[in-house]
Amino acid sequence: MIGLLLFIISVQPDTLTTSPHNLDEVVVVSRGQGGKRSAKGQVATIDEHLQELNHVELVRRGSYAWEPTVNNMQTERLSTTIDGMKIFYACTDKMDPVTSYVESSNLQSISLNSGLNGNPQATGNIGGALDLRLRKAGFSNNAQNRQNAQAGYETNGNVQVYGADASHSSRRFYVNGGAFYRHADNYKAGGGKELQFSQFQKVNVFTNAGFKFPPSGGDGRGALEATFIYDRASDVGYPALNMDVSKAEAFITSLAYKHLFEDSKLESWETKGYYNHITHVMDDTTRPDVEIHMDMPGESWTAGAYSLLTGEYGKHQAQLNLDGYYNRLFADMTMYPGGAAPMYMVTWPDVGTMNVGVALSDDIRFPSFGGTEGGLHFSGKLSWQHQRLNNEEGYKALSVFFPGMKQQYHQTTGRIAANFNSSILEFLNFSIGAGWGSRAPTVTEAYGYYLNNTFDQYDYIGNPRLKNESAIELNTNFSFSILPSFNFSIDANAFFFSNYIVGQFENRLSAMTVGAEGVKVYGNIDHATIANASLTAEWRPVSGLRWSAKGTYSLGRDDEGEPLPLIAPFTYQSRLSYATGPLSLQAEVKGHTRQAKYGKKYGETETAAWTIVNLSANYQFSIKHYPLGRRTLARQEFTLRAGIENLFDKYYATYSDWCHIPQKGRNIYMNISFEL
Amino acid sequence: MKKVKGLFLVLAVAALTACNSNDDGVQAGIEIPGITITDDIDCCSAEEALQVYKFLQTVKIVPELSTEIDGKYNVFAYTQTGGFHNGYNEIFFVATKKLTGNYIKNFDITTITPLMHMVKMDMYHSTPVGPDAASFNNDYLAVKRTWVSFLMNTSDAGSWTLSYDALVLGDKGGIEKRDIVVNALPDGQAWLKSFKVGDATYYLSLVNPTDWQTGTNAITAYVSKKSEKATVPYALAPETFTIDIDPRMPDMGNHTSPNNTPLTKQADGSYAGTINLTMTGLWRIHLTVRDAQGNIVAGGEELSSLYWDVTI
């Protein structure tokens, strides 16, 4: 059994981390075959990889740190974890979704669970759960050393990417680590106009190490794994916002003990403790015509642990997870009017959130019609959290708006989801699923203080008396294989919300930000609906040639039947790819129709239709040579990638480009990855 | 605060018990610098003296206002800063016996008369003052409080003097036209404003806004009426007004805060309400004054020109 496990591990290092169960989709970020990934390969940003996933769109406020949405829901309705670790962004203006604090090179894959069926550590995931899985070298029977390097360049915005990493694996020990650097100047939108404040710079270093204990009798063996990531972005421009960022910095650490059982119904038991700290500093000193200069730093600290037990019993594969974390969020703002005294306010009142949860999931396999296999997947989680406003000044300030509010609150949330999948004959696979789940208001929604939103030009005030938001989800998927070479699938889901949380006009309050339209206070609306449907087709007429097409339509309505904001219009994508030997070529057309049903009530404005064309190519080759001082022949693998994005240099903005900032114009990129 | 006082009492009692058992005749249990505790009924007990002493640590002495009566008593005056500034100033008085240094429980400070001499026109005028000094806190009855609200600061244009009468255990004393210096407030602070109703001039003195913090604050003010003879200190106006407040931040596009309540007249003659401040910085509190019938007598327009400035 050990041999078998080790064999699996050496081939697929990720096995030592939580094995994916019932995932909707995975983007493979690192080396590896199969799975989706960005055409830019190894040097692509996490955002570019995320774009490949179904159900995922990205809200863009600049070139850097795009905010993923899943099923047309943003951060507050999603769970994002790094290898099961909770981490919370530190910017009151959402300039730093947590996906921005890791680099592609840190990751093996990004897994997505759509809707309420989240990974065991996920909480509050109504729209979906993303888990960023770290790349670990893993143990290996034969000692192995690997070194890789990447370099990339993009013409539009003078983007430079350099990365290097190294790993060592042996039976008992592994260590891998690397460093990554990105730099971008302002990019040019279609037509050649430079977009001011779209630059950024980022460095990232990471290391993972594992140590396996010697066998100790018949009860399996354990391994210790440690992770450290340091990520720092500086001089990041946000053309859609009034401010930029001088520093966004994260320390991410974890230590885990994983026990692999033998001859037991239990498979593995992993217990991980972690700590992460984010510092985010906004900066408006480089902006011209700033009416009032402001300092707006934010900090987030999270310490937590989870313990995940996985077992297999007959047709069942079950997981039991206990987790807990403590998070602190603090942000403040100091404004400096010329000559007068500085004005100070606490925008996140040092909210301490203590959250504990228990999650259970089970996969049941059974034979289905016509000899194929069917399955029932079930997952559920119950969480309880306690929140305390540790900053007295912030608490008193918010009390002005909510006289008699308490300094401590607690919430109980839960989710439960089931999914049944089966095949009818060989050509039709289908699944149907349903779930219910709730989420507690976020710190911004409950306790945020005069947070200006450039999207609708309103100042937002949190509401400590919000009720939990809940939703019922229904989903289904049908996929047909009409010919062996032709696949066709339909995917649809709908979320029926109760107590949907959204900012509501409060005319009695006066705006704080100069130039703001007014004030909104978060409130629960009785109900809302978000529904998504997509059609995918794939055709492989001859070996090496592949055509695929995808169209997605979404809908969002509030309790008065008005469109919700940031809901995608009809989006489409069609790709033709050809692979022969080491060379592969791809052409892609994508776009969306005019966003006719925009959330006017919520300050959204119409977005025009657009279509762009992208081309990419990928060539792999190897060089045989004698390494210095050695007599054995070595092979050195190279991968070259090049492509043109927005071939016809269209000027366009997507519906999710914050304040309609334009996307990149024509961009030619090339990059190389190679083994050293 | 309660706890702290309780602690002092416990300490005091413990100390007294300890020295009784020592029986060395000196109640040295409570050491208060410069004070000898005796069985003098005019003066504070050890506990009372300690409370007064502790309170006086929180304010600063104003040397110009000290005086000696009959060679037996001292009268000391204190303010928040040890000096004076434009607008409302609280003044605290204590009287001590020179022999023991202990605080005298009952004494009177009356006829506080600030006087401004305007050099150019060689004219004199007074300014709003509080009633006769009186005890204000049961924990230290030997401290008497009153206030003076200065209309202007000392400058080349004019200077201030201050007089008061003191009556300590039957002996009269006081000070006569002692020179004092009234400092200007920093930019962004204006705590005294006036308005006219007919021929009468009223003054609005805002009380201690430096204590304010972000959030909900009690706001207190006094309305004084100019005396017919300008050299007579201006007493509290006998009329009853209501003062609506509209706090704004001029540097933030006149941002305002919700749920402020107007200042209404209290039993002690002061006006009290609540003010909500959403952040620190300069707040301009626009005022609208209504008479007892609800008619607007001052201010009233949008962003009224009658306002206090407070920077917190």
Residues in Cβ contact with A331 at an 8 Å cutoff, skipping those fewer than 6 apart: A90, A91, A92, A296, A297, A298, A299, A346, A347, A348
Measure the CA angle with vertex A330, ends A657 and A383; round to 5°: 85
Percent over 90 (pLDDT), chain A = 79
Element (H, E) at A311: strand A297-313
**Residues 205-224 of chain B whose Cβ lies under 8 A from any Cβ of chain A:** 213-216
Cα B109 from Cα B133, distance rounded (Å): 6
Q: B278 vs chain A: nearest CA distance in angstroms?
A: 6
Q: Judge if B147 and B257 occupy the same domain.
A: no
Percent over 70 (pLDDT), chain B = 91
Structure tokens at A177: 């680590």
Residue B257 touches partner A, C-beta closer than 8 Å? yes
Residue B253: its chain A contacts at CB < 8 A? 511, 514-515
Measure the CA angle with vertex B227, ends B224 and B228; round to 5°: 150
**Residues B278, A514: C-beta atoms closer than 8 Å:** no
Which three-class secondary structure state does DSSP give residue A541? Answer: coil
Residue A507: its chain B contacts at CB < 8 A? none
**Which one, of A62, A42, A108, A242, lies nearest residue A662 by Cα?**
A62
Q: Judge if B250 and B297 occupy the same domain.
A: yes
In a domain, B124, yes or no: yes
Residue-level pLDDT at A321? 97
Cα B65 from Cα B162, distance rounded (Å): 8
Residue-level pLDDT at A29? 63
Residue B135 touches partner A, C-beta closer than 8 Å? no
Residue-level pLDDT at A101? 97
Query: In this predicted model, what pLDDT tens digit does every residue of B153-206 receive, in sequence order?
Result: 999 999 999 999 999 999 999 999 999 999 999 999 999 999 999 999 999 999
Query: In this predicted model, what pLDDT tens digit does every residue of A159-199 receive, in sequence order?
Result: 999 999 999 999 899 999 999 999 999 999 999 999 999 99
- Cα distances (Å, whole numbers) of residue B66 to A106, B52, B73: 74, 17, 11
**Residues B252, A450: C-beta atoms closer than 8 Å:** no
Q: Judge if B107 and B243 occupy the same domain.
A: no
In a domain, B20, yes or no: no
Closest Cα in chain B to A461: B278
Structure tokens at B279: 């952040």
Q: Is the pLDDT of residue B37 over 90?
A: no
In a domain, B6, yes or no: no
Tally of domains within chain B: 2
pLDDT category of residue A1 using cuts at 50, 70 and 90 = very low
What does residue B64 show for φ and ψ, rounded to 5 degrees?
A: -60, -25
Q: Where is the domain boundary, B183, B203, B237?
A: B183
Count other C-beta atoms under 10 Å from residue A257's C-beta. Answer: 15
Q: Judge if B81 and B210 occupy the same domain.
A: no
**Residues A400, B311: C-beta atoms closer than 8 Å:** no
CATH T-level assignment (fold) for domain A2-675: Maltoporin; Chain A (2.40.170)
For the domain that residue B212 is a member of, what is the CATH number? 2.60.40
ipTM entry = 0.85
Per-residue pLDDT, averaged over A521-530, amounts to 97
Q: Judge if B257 and B297 occupy the same domain.
A: yes
Q: Is the pLDDT of residue B11 over 80?
A: no
CB-based contact A637:A620 (threshold 8 Å): yes
Q: Judge if B177 and B200 occupy the same domain.
A: no
Element (H, E) at A555: strand A545-557
According to DSSP, the residues that pair with A495 across neighbouring strands are A473, A530
Q: Where is the domain boundary, B149, B183, B217?
A: B183
Look up residue A565 and give its amino acid.
P
Q: Is the pLDDT of residue B77 over 90?
A: yes
Query: Which of A216-230, A362-376, A522-536, B99-113 is predicted least confidently?
Result: A362-376
Within chain B, what is the greatest distance between any pair of CA atoms? Answer: 73
Q: Judge if B175 and B208 occupy the same domain.
A: no
Q: Is the pLDDT of residue B27 over 50?
A: no
> What ranges do the domains of chain A cover?
2-675
Q: Judge if B203 and B134 occupy the same domain.
A: no
pLDDT category of residue A35 using cuts at 50, 70 and 90 = low
Element (H, E) at A2: helix A2-11
**Residues 16-55 of chain B whose Cβ lies under 8 A from any Cβ of chain A:** none
Measure the CA angle with vertex A665, ends A659 and A666; round to 5°: 160
How confident is the prediction for chain A on average, in pLDDT? 91
In a domain, B11, yes or no: no
Q: Where is the domain boundary, B164, B183, B202?
A: B183
Residue B151, domain extent: 32-183
Q: Judge if B222 and B129 occupy the same domain.
A: no
**Which one, of A285, A295, A398, A298, lies nearest residue A342 by Cα?**
A295
Q: Judge if B201 and B229 occupy the same domain.
A: yes
- Burial-class residue A545 by CB neighbours within 10 Å (0-12, 13-18, 19+): middle
Cα atoms in the 13 Å half-sphere on the side-chain side of A275: 0
CB-based contact A112:A132 (threshold 8 Å): no
More confident residue, A213 or A524: A524
Q: Judge if B123 and B102 occupy the same domain.
A: yes
Which of B214, B251, B281 shows the shortest C-beta gap to A393? B214
Q: Is the pLDDT of residue B137 over 50?
A: yes
Q: Judge if B175 and B205 occupy the same domain.
A: no
Which of A343, A510, A514 shows the shortest C-beta gap to B281? A343
Residue-level pLDDT at B22? 42
Cα A111 from Cα A420, distance rounded (Å): 20
Residue B187: its chain A contacts at CB < 8 A? 339-340
Which three-class secondary structure state does DSSP give residue A498? Answer: strand
